[in-house]
Amino acid sequence: MKIGVLETGHLSDKLKAKYGRYPAFFERLVGPHLPEASFFTVSVVDGETAKSPDQADGWIITGSRSGAYEDEPWIPPLEEFLRACLAKGVPVVGICFGHQILAQAMGGKVEKSSKGWGVGIHEYALLDQPEWLKGINKSFSIPAIHQDQVIKAPEGAKVFSSSEFCPIAGLLYGDPASPTAMTIQPHPEMTAEFVADISEERLQHIIPAETMQRALKTLSKPADQVAWGQAIAAFFRQKRP
């Protein structure tokens, strides 16, 4: 099995030296639960393009500093590629920006939330639980770091996860029992340490200090990254028509 990682953002040299590039996060998250898979990267943020949806058995879209609605030259080709993946039935997983860009590509709407930034360990409700999601609790906790949100789901997409802060926190495309695409707003690939480091680097002058301190205190809470690594592996292993 080949999994292509669509890299849509960069980390600073300091963070890359400590954690690696974004695709490495997903190899660490999913790889232990999908040992038959090999991973490769297509850096769309740097202008690279995938040859075709069939170049991989499944695709992962990473997070990004960019907004899905921004005038970046690599965004329209990415949207076109993602539509082609869904049309061909090639599985796609989208995380944070990946959640947003697929929704936008399929006719949904993304914008900066009036609620501001969501940072720290957030709790989400699981609204639907097909077999491949059986390892996820009905209430689960995952790191979040975002201001943008999907505010309108594409026609035909099913909201399967939600929170008070982020009502459209997870979307399924196709039959929930065996969907073509699964996307979520939070970051199961991130550790609490990484969220603290990137928040200090990027957000300390953007978010009020009191808000940031409250968010960072949540990072001591347990989170469900391992269960989500298993769920994403189960998603890619599904047999599809």
Known catalytic residues are 96, 187, 189
Tokens of 131: 């077999």
Report the alpha-carbon distance of residue 145 to residue 151 in Å, rounded: 17
Tokens of 57: 């058995």
Residue 51: CB partners within 8 Å, gap ≥ 6?
A: none
Report the alpha-carbon distance of residue 184 to residue 5 in Å, rounded: 16
- Cβ atoms of 183 and 171 within 8 Å: the answer is yes
Report the alpha-carbon distance of residue 135 to residue 139 in Å, rounded: 11
End-to-end alpha-carbon separation of the chain, Å? Answer: 17
Backbone angles phi, psi at 175, to 5 degrees: -60, 120
Report the alpha-carbon distance of residue 180 to residue 57 in Å, rounded: 12
Report the alpha-carbon distance of residue 128 to residue 102 in Å, rounded: 20
Pairing of strands 92-95, 181-184: parallel
